[in-house]
A and B are shown apart, each in its own frame.
Chain A
């Protein structure tokens, strides 16, 4: 592993840790309440009182960005947990059983790939109205086939290996072998994939909130802030810069972390992107 790569890993880990810390701090403290409207101080420039200025309703941009980090990371986290929680068992099942079960599950995964998170979110919103839960669900559903494919792909080869055959000869069932032998051996691959999906989920959440299918106002979110900022792009261009920079920085951090982890854990793993 080169010094260049480990520098990437450290930078990625630092950025990610910073984002998580900001999201956690936002739970208990932000400079101002992120939804507090203060019309007399609207569209204020950068100052000591408002380090990143205020928006058209006089809300403190720094506070909104911090609260947005919390909204963004929690949607992404739940979407990854949903995707891995259902996708990993399904992929492990396909790998363990093979045959028609494997075929059926993989064809179902192909089908699910035809519905990008955006289309699923469109359907859910048409059905049940907009909300942050839609975004989590839509991105989570999109993540299921991703995790199923990666799990199945990495687990299938392992089923031919000697240590699995040994476990089988000693009378272990499919489930026990999967839990005791298969999953620990593919944990690294899954961790890297989770990092990639986490980054994709942050972008997806921001995109859905931007078009109004995700987090709803007054709840602050980076995508929503970008949408609001666009109306005032001639008067206050900086408002459109900060939330996008926050999204880009988080995604960059997670991608660097994912690349670094991949090299660290298993140099032979091919990227699943």
Chain B
């Protein structure tokens, strides 16, 4: 297990390094002169020179990369050009919205999908199974931002139960803040839950046919006990792996959903930064989001290996 862990850790570090290099090359090397990209074509030469000096663009590329990447490791994300404040502060404020939203969506989708998937598998072929999977088929096809708009229509316009948009901030207390996050979290969770429920059902059906489940039944366990004690735990491996893969979709979904509900999260920040050509903010956010996908998938791989020792030997 230690060798496996060390090898995975080395791959993780190399992938993170490569991701940061990709972002640096795309946003700092490809534009030629990032200062000109930020100021637009009409910029005066002395303004450009001043910005170049401020951003440290005169230094050679490897040094610029090391300053940026090294700074990020130490928590120094640079200074936003438009806001004039440290990017780390901007991100800290916005994470307080995006992270709870993403967490609520994951908890909600798992809480809906796993029981539904197991339940449908246990009633395979019956009308209730077909109905649940029919609903899931439609859920998979629902774009989360449209679902968000529909939820606004139903529960903010027709029935004024929740705010249609905006975020009161956590300072106003947890109740109004959570109320503002519920509709966006549901919009993110339901399409994910539909995919997850289908995979859970398929995985449970597969394990139900395995010998160890038949043995459990043969030694006198009820169908229900065999299902929950033997089939479900073994079916969780593909489900956990899928959760990891869904994270990148969830991230993209969160960014878009924040725009549907005008929530002041990382997603809003990235679009404001693009409009204002605040290159440093874009660069920091993109690398941060990409690295979070890499780390979540690393964690998921470890979890899968912990759940299934066979994977440890074969995983590369």
Contacts and interface: CB of A to CB of B under 8 A. Distances in A.
Which of B142, B143, B291, B297 has the most CB atoms of chain A within a 10 A radius of its CB? B143
B143 A203 contact: yes
Q: Which size class do B's interface residues fall under? A: 35 or more
B137 interface: yes
Interface of B: 11, 14-15, 18-19, 22-23, 26-27, 30-31, 37, 130, 137-138, 140-143, 145-146, 149-150, 152-153, 157, 164, 195, 199, 202, 242, 248-249, 251-252, 255-256, 259-260, 270-271, 273-274, 277, 279, 282, 285-286, 289-291, 293-294, 297, 316
A230 B252 contact: no
A226 B11 CA distance: 42
A230 B290 contact: no
Contact of B19 (A111, A118, A203): A111
Contact of B260 (A113, A212, A230, A255): A230
A30 interface: no
B146 A248 contact: yes
Main SS of chain B's interface residues?
A: helix
A273 B199 contact: yes
B26 A127 contact: yes
Interface stretch (A51-59, A77-85, A86-94, A232-240): A232-240
B140 A119 contact: no
Interface residues of A, number: 43
A203 B11 CA distance: 32
A229 interface: yes
Contacts of A111: 15, 18-19, 22
Contact of B141 (A233, A237, A248): A248
Contact of B293 (A113, A125, A126, A252): A113
B255 A118 contact: yes
A105 interface: no
A199 interface: yes
Contacts of A203: 143
B251 A210 contact: no
Contact of B153 (A115, A122, A123, A237): A237
A46 B221 CA distance: 61
A256 B138 CA distance: 10
A48 B27 CA distance: 51
B289 A119 contact: yes
A42 B157 CA distance: 22
Given A126-B279, A271-B202, A114 B248 contact: yes
A210 B259 contact: yes
Query: Considering the complex of A and B, which 10 residue pairs feature the smallest CB-CB distances, nearest first?
Result: A244-B146, A118-B252, A251-B141, A252-B141, A116-B252, A114-B290, A116-B248, A114-B293, A126-B282, A114-B294
B19 A114 contact: yes
26 contacts: A110-B297, A114-B293, A118-B255, A118-B256, A119-B286, A123-B286, A126-B273, A127-B30, A127-B31, A206-B143, A207-B145, A210-B256, A233-B153, A233-B157, A233-B164, A237-B157, A244-B149, A247-B146, A248-B138, A251-B140, A251-B141, A251-B143, A255-B137, A271-B199, A271-B202, A273-B199
Given A211-B259, A211-B271, A251-B141, A116 B146 contact: no
A153 B164 CA distance: 45
